[in-house]
Amino acid sequence: MHLHKVFLFFLFCTSVWGSNNYFSLINFSDSISVNDSIKIADALAVNDSLFLSDSISVNDSLSIQDSIQIADTLKPLFYKAFTHNDVYSITKNKIDRKDLRYSGDIFNHLPSGFLRDLGTLGQPSEITLYGIGFNNLSFITNGVNRNNRITNSFDAYSFQTDNIDSIIVYPITQGFIYNNYNNPAALEVIEKDSIYSIPYSRIKFYQAPDGEGMFDGRVSLYLTRRINLTLGTSNQSIDSRYNNSDFGSWLAFGKLRYMLNNNFNFILDYSYRKSNTYLFGGVNINAIAPNELENILYAPLQAPVNYPISGFSSPSPRYQKLTNHSFSGKILSNIIPFINSDLTFYYSNNLTEFRQNQFTQNPDFPQVINDNEYQTFGVNFNNSFNSSLIDASLLYNFERNEINADLFRENFSFYNVSFAGIASLKLFEDFFTPTGYLKNLNFNGTNYFGAGLDFATNKFLNLKLKTGFSYFEKPYNMIELGISRLTRNVKNKNNAFQIGLEFDSEILKTELNYFYLKQENASLPAVYQYSDTLLLNEVSDLALINKELSGFSLTGELNYWIINFEYNGTYYFQGNSVEKLNPDYFVFAGLYYKDILFNRNLNLKTGLNFYLFGPRYFYDYDFEKSIPFQTIIPIGTNTFTISNQAKTKANLKVDFFLSAKIQESAVFFFIFENLLDEKYFIVPYYPAPARGLRFGVSWEFLD
Number of neighbouring beta carbons within 10 Å of residue 216: 23
- Residues 526, 629: contact at Cβ < 8 Å? yes
- CATH number, residue 659: 2.40.170.20
Residue 636 has a pLDDT of 72
Residue 589 has pLDDT above 50, yes or no: yes
In three-state secondary structure terms, 552 is: strand
- Residues 594, 562: contact at Cβ < 8 Å? yes
- Is residue 489 one of the residues assigned to a domain? yes
How high is the mean pLDDT of the chain?
88
Residue 364 has a pLDDT of 76
- Average the pLDDT over 581-602 and give the result: 97
- Is residue 488 one of the residues assigned to a domain? yes
Per-residue pLDDT reduced to its tens digit, 181-220: 999 999 999 998 877 788 999 999 999 999 999 999 999 9
429 pLDDT tier (thresholds 50, 70, 90) = confident
Residue 33 has a pLDDT of 38
Per-residue pLDDT reduced to its tens digit, 275-314: 999 999 999 999 999 999 999 999 999 999 999 998 766 7
- Based on the number of CB atoms within 10 Å of its own CB, is 687 exposed (0-12), middle (13-18) or buried (19 or more)? buried
72 pLDDT tier (thresholds 50, 70, 90) = low
Residue 638 has a pLDDT of 76
Say which DSSP state 647 is in: B
Per-residue pLDDT reduced to its tens digit, 340-368: 899 999 999 999 999 998 887 777 788 89
628 pLDDT tier (thresholds 50, 70, 90) = very high
Residue 597 has pLDDT above 60, yes or no: yes
- Is residue 354 one of the residues assigned to a domain? yes
Mark out the alpha helices in 52-182 (DSSP H runs). 92-95
Residue 26 has a pLDDT of 38
Per-residue pLDDT reduced to its tens digit, 223-269: 999 999 999 999 999 999 999 999 999 999 999 999 999 999 999 99
Is the CA virtual torsion 97, 102, 105, 107 positive or negative? positive
- Is residue 246 one of the residues assigned to a domain? yes
Residue 39 has a pLDDT of 38
Say which DSSP state 162 is in: G
- Is residue 137 one of the residues assigned to a domain? yes
Residue 530 has a pLDDT of 65
Helices (H) and strands (E) in the chain, counts: 4, 35
Identity of the residue numbered 469: F
Per-residue pLDDT reduced to its tens digit, 551-575: 999 999 999 999 999 999 999 998 7
Number of neighbouring beta carbons within 10 Å of residue 462: 12
Residue 352 has a pLDDT of 98
668 pLDDT tier (thresholds 50, 70, 90) = very high
- Is residue 364 one of the residues assigned to a domain? yes
CA 178 to CA 439: how far, in whole Å?
A: 10
Say which DSSP state 482 is in: H
* Least confident window among 3-17, 134-148, 194-208, 517-531: 3-17
Residue 111 has pLDDT above 90, yes or no: yes
Per-residue pLDDT reduced to its tens digit, 265-275: 999 999 999 99
618 pLDDT tier (thresholds 50, 70, 90) = very high
**Residue range of the domain that includes 144:** 88-702
- Is residue 1 one of the residues assigned to a domain? no
229-236 — which CB contacts under 8 Å span 24+ positions? 229/254, 229/255, 229/256, 229/257, 230/194, 230/254, 230/255, 230/256, 230/257, 231/255, 232/160, 232/162, 232/163, 233/7, 234/160, 234/162, 235/1, 235/3, 235/4, 236/102, 236/121, 236/122, 236/157
Spatial CB neighbours of 259, under 8 Å, sequence gap ≥ 6? 74, 76, 77, 226, 227, 228, 265
As for how many domains the chain has, the answer is: 1
| Antiparallel, parallel or unpaired: β 641-642 and 492-504 | unpaired
Residue 622 has pLDDT above 60, yes or no: yes
User: Can you say whether residue 661 is alpha, beta or left, with left for phi > 0 and alpha for psi between -120 and 50 degrees?
Assistant: beta
CA 229 to CA 102: how far, in whole Å?
A: 25
Residue 97 has a pLDDT of 94
Number of neighbouring beta carbons within 10 Å of residue 413: 12
- Is residue 71 one of the residues assigned to a domain? no
- Average the pLDDT over 482-503 and give the result: 88
Share of the chain above pLDDT 70, in %: 87
- Residues 322, 624: contact at Cβ < 8 Å? no
